[in-house]
């Protein structure tokens, strides 16, 4: 190349220096785009995740230890009172939160993993294979949650594992469908053709070029789905086909507490119930925030 071309070099894409802004402004407007509810959701969720993660260090009592001090109201000793077996409600709530997060998280991650691969492969290959697999996915989706849960619990026995499997199974169709749609939309784009011209193998095209570009809707669906999954685990446990007592679970605790509501022991179900509601609420807020954040029309701005 010659001299003229140095003149031809395009100017850098970013123009000038951006105006300086305070840390808070950059955090609030930059990351949250001024979305106050998103900020609240993330803050709440951060607290809940912290509590769940460090649960064993935070508990004041053994969550499974029964004592003669039954149905004590909240006090300095038992922050959220005790239940009908004299167990500490605070310690049980913290432990439940941890277990529910793990079960819902494992279930949703499993569903994302399996569902994405199904969607990616079906969308990319197409044809009869796609038709066949997607009809199977339709069949899974047509079973109600409770039916799948009952059948699986019957086969696998009531355990944490079976609830994880139920969560995986019930959520696979969501991800298979979302990723398949995204794959169909992206597989004919020019950069995929460019990769093919660059000698990329089919495997590399699917997993290296296509997959990273189809995953963004998962983040949004995942966080909304996690909220639903936490709720479902609690519902199943509440109904007695999920996590079984004495293992603490928010659903189990609410269920047990309802029997003592009439006796005035409100703390037994209200406290875990509020934690459950807060968890679902904060996950939903985060989902909404992510949806706005990852919207290409907004992120392009």
Binding-site ranges for another protein (CB under 8 A): 1-2, 4-5, 7-16, 18-19, 21, 25, 29-30, 33-34, 189-191, 193-201, 209, 212-213, 300-301
The nearer residue to another protein, 154 or 189, going by C-beta atoms, is 189
Give 53 or 189: the residue with its C-beta nearer to another protein: 189
Q: Closest CB to another protein among 196 and 244?
A: 196
Distance, in Å, from the CA atom of 115 to the CA atom of 204, rounded to the nearest integer, reads 19
Closer to another protein at the Cβ: 155 or 203?
Answer: 203
**4/142 with CB nearer another protein:** 4
Please report how close the Cβ of residue 116 comes to another protein at its closest, in angstroms.
15
Question: What are the CA-CA distances from residue 147 to residues 114, 153, 159, 170, 179 (Å)?
Answer: 21, 10, 16, 11, 26
Min dist. Cβ of residue 292 to another protein (A): 13
Q: How far is CA 259 from the centre of its chain?
A: 31
For residue 228, the minimal CB distance to another protein (Å) is 28
Smallest distance from the beta carbon of 114 to another protein, in angstroms? 22
CB 42 to another protein: min, Å: 19
């Amino acid at each position: 190349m010659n001299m003229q071309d140095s003149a031809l070099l395009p100017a850098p894409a970013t123009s000038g220096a951006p105006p300086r802004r305070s840390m808070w402004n950059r955090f609030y407007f930059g990351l949250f785009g001024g979305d106050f509810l998103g900020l609240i959701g993330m803050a709440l969720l951060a607290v809940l995740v912290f509590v769940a993660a460090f649960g064993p260090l935070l508990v004041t009592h053994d969550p499974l230890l029964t004592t003669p001090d039954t149905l004590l109201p909240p006090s300095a000793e038992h922050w959220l009172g005790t239940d009908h077996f004299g167990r500490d409600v605070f310690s049980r709530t913290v432990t439940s939160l941890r277990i529910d997060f793990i079960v819902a998280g494992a279930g949703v991650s499993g569903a994302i993993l399996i569902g994405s691969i199904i969607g990616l492969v079906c969308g990319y290959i197409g044809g009869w294979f796609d038709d066949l697999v997607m009809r199977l996915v339709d069949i899974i989706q047509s079973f109600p949650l409770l039916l799948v849960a009952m059948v699986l619990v019957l086969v696998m026995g009531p355990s944490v594992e079976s609830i994880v499997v139920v969560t995986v199974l019930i959520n696979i169709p969501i991800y298979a469908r979302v990723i398949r749609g995204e794959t169909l939309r992206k597989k004919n784009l020019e950069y995929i053709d460019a990769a093919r011209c660059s000698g990329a193998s089919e495997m590399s095209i699917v997993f290296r070029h296509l997959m990273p570009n189809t995953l963004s809707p998962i983040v949004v669906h995942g966080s909304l789905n996690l909220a639903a999954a936490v709720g479902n685990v609690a519902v199943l446990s509440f109904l007695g086909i999920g996590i079984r007592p004495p293992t603490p679970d928010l659903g189990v605790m609410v269920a047990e507490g309802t029997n003592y509501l009439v006796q005035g022991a409100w703390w037994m179900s209200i406290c875990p119930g509020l934690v459950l509601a807060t968890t679902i609420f904060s996950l939903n807020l985060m989902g909404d925030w992510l949806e706005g954040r990852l919207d290409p029309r907004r992120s392009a701005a």
